[in-house]
Structure formats: C-alpha cells, structure tokens
C-alpha cells in the first residue's frame, strides 16, 4: 500500500479510523500489557494532516517491548527497528492492510512517548501552535511527492521549538523528522 502524499484538511473520520485500527491490534497484543494511543496530527481535531493514523502501542516497561514486537510480527507487521529514533520501535504494515497507518511500540514515559503525546496535547490545547504547525505542513506538502524526508526534516525545527516551549526534555529530537507525524 502506498503512503498518502498530501496534506488535507481535518477529517472527522480519523478518530473512527483509529478506533478500527486499535480494535485490529488488540487481539494481536492479547497477553502483552499495553495501551494503544492515537498520536500524530490526525489525533488533533481541526489540524491539517496526511491522512495517516499514527498509533503508539505503549507498554509499561522495556521488559515488554520484545513481547509486543513478537506479537505484532506474528500478526504480519514487520519490525523495522527504531528508524533512528531511540525508544521507538517502528513497523512496516502487513500486505493485506486496508488503511495506511504508522505503528510504533514505545515504553510508557520514555522520551519518544513523551514527545509523541506532548506534541499531540500541545496542538490540541494551543490554537496558535496548531495554526503554526498547519501552516508549516501545508508549506512543505509539495515535498511529499518528491522528497518525503525533506518534508519531515522541514517540520523538525518547529516541532523542537514547540516541545521546548512546552517543556519537553527531548524537544530537539522529537522523532518527527522520520516517518510519522502526519
């Protein structure tokens, strides 16, 4: 499945898409302590985004990461490692997936988790930050068809600034320059 290569206005269906994806993950993760959180731009009402749902499988400690990775692997997700972001394990989608999404395993409270949730919550709460971020994403959107890495990198400085303003310790390495953060 090809990743969507456009930034669109907020779609009221995104929370429902997250619920559907989460429901599909729950049987795979039975027996692994976890919660599944909706992160990324599609988790922010009113924010323009790539129509890609970002999901964090949040486990309570590093001791549970291997079990989560194995369970998702048994369900057809292919582990890709951290893709350069410490504390975040990324996955390639199964071939039969109906809806394109990004899936990560993170440990509750680690820097990757705090950055994902911190940015989401800031953008939900702060209309000025949300507008700035939307403007940046729309400005960079043409890069999605030619250089996705440049699209992500183009958002990194603003994300770092927003997270620093919120007081997130990892603001300079939010992990959003790579795959993620619709």
Task: Quickly name the fold that domain 14-173 has.
Answer: Beta Polymerase; domain 2 (3.30.460)
Rounded-to-integer distance, Cα 175 and Cα 129, Å:
18
Q: What is the pLDDT of residue 2?
A: 79
Question: What is the spatial distance between Cα 66 and Cα 89, in angstroms, rounded to a whole number?
Answer: 10
Q: How far apart are alpha carbons 118 and 124 in whole angstroms?
A: 10
- Pick the closest to residue 80 from 161, 29, 72 (CA basis): 72
pLDDT averaged over 10-residue windows placed end to end, the chain, 182 residues:
88 98 98 97 96 98 98 98 95 93 98 96 96 95 92 92 77 44 52
What is residue 170's predicted lDDT score, i.e. its pLDDT? 55
**The pLDDT value given to residue 175:** 41
Q: How many CB atoms lie within 10 A of CB 105?
A: 30
């Amino acid at each position: 499945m090809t990743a969507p290569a456009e930034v669109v206005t907020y779609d009221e269906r995104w929370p429902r898409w997250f619920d559907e994806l989460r429901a599909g993950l729950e049987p795979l993760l039975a027996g692994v302590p976890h919660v599944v959180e909706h992160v990324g731009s599609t988790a922010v009402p009113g924010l323009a985004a790539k129509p890609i749902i970002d999901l964090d499988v949040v486990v309570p400690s590093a001791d549970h990461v291997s079990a989560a990775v194995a369970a998702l692997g048994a369900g057809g997700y292919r582990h890709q490692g951290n893709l350069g972001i410490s504390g975040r394990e990324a996955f390639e989608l199964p071939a039969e997936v109906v809806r394109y999404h990004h899936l990560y395993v993170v440990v509750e409270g680690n820097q990757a988790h705090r950055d994902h949730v911190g940015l989401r919550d800031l953008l939900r709460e702060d209309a000025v930050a949300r507008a700035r971020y939307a403007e940046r994403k729309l400005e960079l959107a043409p890069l999605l068809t030619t250089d996705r890495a440049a699209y992500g990198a183009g958002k990194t400085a603003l994300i770092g600034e927003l997270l620093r303003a919120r007081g997130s310790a990892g603001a300079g390495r939010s992990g959003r320059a790579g795959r993620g953060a619709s």
